[in-house]
Amino acid sequence: MTAFLTVRHIAKSFHLDKDVTVSALRDINLDIDRGEFVVISGPSGSGKTTLLNIIGGLDVPDSGEVILDGLKLTGLSERSLSRVRRDHIGFVFQAYNLLPVLTARENIEYVMRLQGVKGERCRIRSAEISEKLGIVSLLDKLPNQLSGGQQQRVAVARSVAATPRLVLADEPTANLDSKSAIALIDMMEKLNQEEGVTVIFSSHDPMVIGKARRSVVLKDGKLVANNAI
């Protein structure tokens, strides 16, 4: 059976200077099935963020290919990649990255509105997600009126509101205290189970890593472990 997400021979290097090149990823191969809850771990600089960015079509690999649900992402135009991200992928960033001029509700509804979903349906869906994540009282607030943990919960709500098939979360708990971090991962796991969305997140926090059902370990840009937990 074909995997939901296939990563084949991905390599990526960055040119820091004229003569200095750093290999961020080296020949990464990975298959992830639909509905999995996967953590990518490894020390800083191991290539976790780069791999997530390439899987999400935010960055382009030097070689190799990424196939998401039968669609080859590598080689797509910026416009097509934007549409793939809009329709199929949700993102949670380490620094929350909510749009500062929009309220929490508008941030959650943003992708749905891009998809052309009508206002009333957006309202119902954002209310449903907010209920699940316990952020109903925050909906009319601007991001700068929210704590880090609250912002990250809104970011998680935004990532799943448009019912993507895949959620990519780059160190979503890095800026949170341990209690909030665990709560957030629990929430993401709940969404993974209830919404059926595949979740891949990166972390180097053992407590958070332990929540995943499968662990992919990177070291110096190489995949060194890929195990069920």
Site for another protein in 88-117 (CB under 8 A): 90-91, 93, 97-102, 110-111, 113-115
Judged by CB under 8 A, the residue of 59, 65, 195, 220 near another protein is 59
Q: Which is nearer to another protein, 101 or 229 (CB)?
A: 101
The single-letter DSSP state of residue 58 is S
CB of 112 to another protein, least distance (A): 10
125 binds another protein (CB under 8 A): no
Q: Is the dihedral of CA 198, 71, 67, 94 positive or negative?
A: negative
Q: Which is nearer to another protein, 146 or 209 (CB)?
A: 146
How many residues sit in the footprint of another protein (CB under 8 A)?
28
Of 83-91, 130-138, 199-207, 212-220: span binding another protein (CB under 8 A): 83-91
Place of tokens 């912002």: 151
- Cα separation, 135 vs 10, in Å, equals 38
Residue ranges of alpha helices (H) inside 148-223 are 148-161, 178-195, 206-209
- Cα separation, 197 vs 191, in Å, equals 7
Tell me how far CA of residue 166 lies from CA of 24, 143, 161, in angstroms. Answer: 23, 24, 12
| Neighbour order of strands in the sheet with 5-15 | 21-32, 5-15, 63-68, 71-72
Judged by CB under 8 A, the residue of 7, 36, 39, 85 near another protein is 85
- Cα separation, 91 vs 78, in Å, equals 17
CB of 197 to another protein, least distance (A): 15
Judged by CB under 8 A, the residue of 12, 105, 153, 158 near another protein is 158
Judged by CB under 8 A, the residue of 8, 86, 123, 219 near another protein is 86
The single-letter DSSP state of residue 79 is H
Residues that bind another protein (CB under 8 A): 53, 56, 58-60, 78-79, 82-83, 85-87, 90-91, 93, 97-102, 110-111, 113-115, 158, 162
